């Protein structure tokens, strides 16, 4: 391993920067004297010396370093402002062999992404974070950053940062080092040769920790932005060494990697079947035939269902039961409840989509092909969204029969009255589920399928009210009452 800073281009960089737009494929895009270039070189050398370029991923979020993928000969990904720690968490956990570098500026890490970095640090993610503190928003032309010094003039603090108005500069290294999980935190300066040598060692230490899976390391690099601070190179270094370093003292804030065992985290799962089993551990209804489990012509097209009623009528549960039925028959399903003021007495609604293909939007709006309306205001509101040849199922205890529905198919039953007769209005949703079964038998099912169908509904009720046996039985009873009373009233 080279023990001194090398002249010339490290093999951690591409030989020419082909991805750069424009004719000059050898220059970097950074301004002369910018600290980013120095840090890039230190990282590129370490990648080369450690032989890790085939498993290193550099995440560059928004800021002047967003184009770092022009230069580094390893994997690179640009992400939204402040989100590198979240993306890094995924990359580091999905494949524990990955060496993940989160390269972030002060605007990015200490402002919009501050919660992200603190949470990732606190979880001890296996990340090497290189934090470029240049006390300014460089890319956008020099606005105040969380690390701008008191009295420092910026575009947004033309009189100088006032601590009484803008607060104090944020001390990131001290804050991260105070957490239990991080293993290594050091602040360095990209100023003099001596300081750059220290920075070089710090970067290597952070990367070594990642290679050994010791967890979260952060190296804060005080760095020059001569263009926005309106300084020439010498002034810039003096600013870093005299003013910045005074407010942000250099040194090691935490180094406990030697006392930590390598992280042991669950391996990623890539087999789609295993992922499905993990996410949806729903067993297919017992006794349901193989052919029934693998849907034939039923729901050949995507079914987009809107359910609406008053809060407390069990609209959301009814939607959940329909989605569960879909799951039991191997459909892709989505269930999107609408919470909010509705839950306290207004209109409650949810969208359910059943499809044999991946579902795009879970929100059912103008493309609804089954509307289940439990009260008049819901019918009035959502009937215009029902497709021309869609199906309407409504609770005639609360809803008047609509006129002029043209090609739409109508089913109805007095669900609320029947539920009340059964002892509780809240059974209305299972009564309506019975009506859904009637409608499906009429319109979609072969005789073979019909034999198994009730069982799928029963399983859905059990799944919804699981472990409450008396409630399950009452709802199954309500379901059969609904089946007996539902009727088709058009076409
Ligand atoms: C969500 C979002 N908000 C704001 C911006 C505008 N923006 C671009 S770069 C930047 C600040 C970058 O500063 P810093 O992270 O310190 O990086 P530097 O350029 O100084 O290295 C901002 C606010 C954006 N691109 N995206
Ligand atoms: S604006 Fe500042 S941080 Fe950005 S490239 Fe120029 S000197 Fe570097
Ligand atoms: Mg900055």
332 and 200 within one domain: no
Position 6 in a domain: no
Residues 316, 204 share a domain: no
**Is pLDDT of 286 > 60?**
no
Is residue 69 domain-shared with residue 198, that is, in the same domain?
yes
Identify whether residues 129 and 154 lie together within a single domain.
yes
CATH of the domain at 135: 3.40.50.970
| 75, β-bridge pairs | 57
Q: Give the model's pLDDT for residue 301.
A: 73
Q: Cα–Cα distance between 104 and 84 in angstroms, integer? A: 8
Least confident of 135-149, 237-251, 401-415: 401-415
Whether the per-residue pLDDT at 102 is higher than 90: the answer is: yes
Has residue 432 been placed in a domain?
A: yes
Q: Which has the closest alpha carbon to 106: 55, 58, 140?
A: 140
Q: Is the pLDDT of residue 292 over 50?
A: no
Q: Do 324 and 469 sit in the same domain of this protein?
A: yes
pLDDT in tens, 392-447: 999 999 999 988 777 889 999 999 999 999 999 889 999 999 999 898 888 877 77
Q: What is the number of structural domains in the chain?
A: 2
Q: How confident is the model at residue 296 (pLDDT cuts 50, 70, 90)?
A: very low
Task: Give the model confidence (pLDDT) of 248-269 as tens digits.
Answer: 999 999 999 999 999 988 877 8
The rounded distance, in Å, linking the Cα atoms of 203 and 210 is 11
Ligand 1, atom 20: closest residue by C-alpha: 138
Are 56 and 98 in a shared domain? yes
Mean of pLDDT over the chain: 89
Among 2-16, 191-205, 244-258, 418-432, name the one with the lowest average pLDDT: 2-16
Decide if 204 is inside a domain. yes
Residue where a domain terminates, one of 259, 292, 307: 259
pLDDT at 341: 52
Pocket of ligand 2 from Cβ distances under 6 Å: 30-31, 34, 36, 64, 134, 138-139, 225-228
Nearest CA to ligand 2 atom 2: 225
Residues 212 and 286 in one domain: no
CA–CA gap between residue 290 and residue 288 (Å, rounded): 7
The yes-or-no verdict on residue 241 having pLDDT over 50 is yes
The pLDDT confidence band at residue 200, using thresholds 50, 70 and 90, is: very high
Residue 245 forms part of a structural domain? yes
**Domain interval for residue 63:** 35-259
Residues 367, 292 within the same domain: yes
Neighbouring C-beta atoms of residue 465, cutoff 10 Å: 19
Q: Which residue has the higher pLDDT, 275 or 343?
A: 275
Which mutation among 63, 129, 244 tests ligand 1's pocket best, with the greatest number of atoms within 8 A of CB?
63
Instruction: Tell me the CB-side half-sphere exposure of residue 15, using CA atoms within 13 A.
Output: 0
Distance (Å, whole) CA 450 – CA 378: 31
**Claim to verify: residue 248 and residue 281 sit in the same structural domain:** no
Domain-embedded: residue 19: no
Domain for residue 271, yes or no? no
Query: Taking 60 as the threshold, does the pLDDT of residue 283 lie above it?
Result: no
Rounded distance, CA 473 to CA 195, Å? 75
Average confidence (pLDDT) over 471-489? 93
The answer to whether residue 4 sits within a structural domain is: no
Q: Is residue 265 part of a domain?
A: no
Confidence band, pLDDT 50/70/90 cuts, at residue 340: low
Q: What is the reported pLDDT for 5?
A: 58
| Residues 219, 285 share a domain | no
- % the chain with pLDDT above 90: 67
282 and 219 in one domain? no
Query: Are 321 and 452 part of one and the same domain?
Result: yes
Confidence of residue 273 (pLDDT cuts 50, 70, 90): confident
Site to probe by mutation for ligand 1, drawn from 33, 109, 139 as the one with most ligand atoms within 8 Å of Cβ, is 139
The CATH number of the domain where 433 resides is what? 3.40.920.10
Q: CA-CA distances (angstroms) from residue 392 to 226, 305, 487?
A: 68, 10, 12
């Amino acid at each position: 391993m080279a023990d001194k800073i090398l002249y010339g281009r490290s093999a951690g960089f591409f030989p020419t920067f082909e991805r750069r737009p424009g004719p000059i494929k050898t220059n970097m895009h950074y301004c002369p004297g910018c600290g980013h270039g120095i840090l890039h070189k230190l990282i590129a050398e370490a990648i080369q010396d450690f032989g890790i370029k085939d498993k290193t991923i550099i995440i560059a979020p928004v800021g002047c370093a967003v184009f770092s993928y022009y230069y580094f000969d390893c994997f690179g990904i640009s992400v939204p402002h402040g989100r590198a720690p979240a993306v890094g968490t995924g990359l580091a956990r999905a494949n524990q062999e990955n060496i993940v570098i989160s390269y972030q500026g002060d605007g990015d890490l200490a402002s919009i992404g501050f919660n992200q970095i603190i949470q990732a640090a606190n979880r001890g993610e296996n990340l090497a974070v290189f934090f470029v503190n240049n006390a300014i928003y460089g890319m956008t032309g020099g606005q105040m950053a969380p690390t701008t010094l008191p009295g420092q003039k910026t575009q947004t603090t033309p009189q100088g940062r006032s601590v009484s108005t803008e607060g104090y500069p944020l001390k990131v290294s001290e804050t991260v080092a105070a957490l239990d999980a991080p293993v290594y935190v050091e602040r360095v300066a990209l100023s003099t040769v001596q300081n750059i040598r220290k920075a070089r060692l710090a970067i290597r230490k952070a990367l070594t920790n990642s290679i050994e899976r010791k967890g979260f390391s952060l190296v804060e690099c005080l760095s020059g932005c001569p263009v926005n601070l309106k300084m020439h190179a010498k002034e810039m270094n003096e600013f870093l060494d005299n003013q910045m370093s005074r407010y942000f003292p250099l040194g090691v804030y935490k180094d406990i990697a030697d006392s930590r065992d390598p992280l042991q985290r669950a391996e990623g799962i890539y087999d789609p079947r295993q992922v499905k089993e993990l996410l949806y551990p729903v067993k297919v209804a017992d006794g349901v035939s193989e052919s029934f489990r693998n849907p034939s012509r039923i729901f050949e097209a995507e079914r987009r269902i809107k359910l609406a009623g008053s809060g407390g009528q069990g609209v959301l549960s009814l939607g959940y039961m329909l989605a569960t039925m879909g799951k039991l028959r191997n459909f892709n399903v989505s269930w999107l409840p609408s919470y909010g003021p509705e839950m306290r007495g207004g209109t409650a609604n949810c969208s359910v989509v059943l499809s044999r293909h991946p579902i795009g939007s879970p929100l059912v709006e103008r493309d609804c092909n089954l509307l289940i309306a439990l009260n008049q205001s819901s019918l009035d509101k959502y009937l215009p969204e029902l497709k021309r040849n869609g199906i309407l199922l409504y609770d005639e205890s609360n809803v008047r029969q609509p006129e002029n529905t043209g090609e739409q198919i109508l089913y109805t039953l007095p669900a609320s009255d029947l539920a009340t007769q059964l002892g509780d209005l809240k059974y209305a949703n299972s009564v309506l589920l019975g009506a859904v079964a009637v409608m499906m038998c009429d319109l979609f099912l072969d005789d073979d399928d019909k034999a198994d169908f009730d069982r799928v509904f029963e399983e859905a009720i059990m799944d919804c009210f699981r472990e409450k046996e008396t409630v399950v039985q009452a709802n199954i009873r309500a379901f059969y009452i609904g089946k007996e009373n539902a009727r088709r009233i058009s076409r």
